Amino acid sequence: MTFKTNLAAIFGAAALAFAAPVMAQDEQSAQDEQTAQDGQPMEMAAEDVTDEQVNAFVDAILAVEEVRAEYGSSIEAAEDEAEQQELVQEANEAAFAAVDEVENMDVDTYVAIANAAGENEELNQRVVARLSEVREE
């Protein structure tokens, strides 16, 4: 498996959004809020991510997948773009809530770990390995 393949698996499962424009707005809003709070978006060094955080991140990925499964067909079946965008927004909110409900995880940490995994193959491999373990259980 190549790094890009592994990363695609993580971000395919980890994506909070159903449509890029809505997610881009949400991410920008979250980044703006975080920047307003402390001057910069939350970052996390890959070597600082604990096994407990990897486990929580994987649990959050699975929670987001459930939201995606719940909303995916409704979004695809929407009669017009306005209805689709409304469903996408609802799905995003549900995904954010699902991440926040995972013990030892919040949306900012989730995004920081996803970004760190995107930049560090070792962390990427840890996440992929844990995700594989959980799916095999």
Tell me: the pLDDT tens digits for 43-79? 899 999 999 999 999 999 999 999 989 998 898 898 9
Tell me: the pLDDT tens digits for 75-85? 889 899 999 88
Distance between CA atoms of residues 100 and 60, nearest Å:
8
- 80 vs 37, more confident: 80
- 15 vs 43, more confident: 43
Tokens of 5: 């393949």
Residue 98's pLDDT band, with cuts at 50, 70 and 90, is very high
CB 59 within 8 A of CB 135: no
Percent residues over pLDDT 90 in the chain: 52
The predicted pLDDT at position 3 comes to 43
* Annotated domain spans of the chain: 3-29+51-136
Average pLDDT value over all residues in the chain: 78
Residue 39's pLDDT band, with cuts at 50, 70 and 90, is very low
The predicted pLDDT at position 42 comes to 83
Q: What is the torsion angle, in degrees rounded to the nearest 10, for the CA atoms of residue 92, residue 94, residue 99 and residue 103?
A: 170
The predicted pLDDT at position 31 comes to 45
DSSP 48: G
Residue in the block written with tokens 């459930």: 66
Please check the confidence at residue 22 and state whether its pLDDT lies above 50. no
Please check the confidence at residue 2 and state whether its pLDDT lies above 80. no
Q: Which amino acid is at 1?
A: M
Quickly list DSSP for 3-46.
HHHHHHHHHHHH---SSHHHHHHHHHHHHHHHHHHHSS-----G
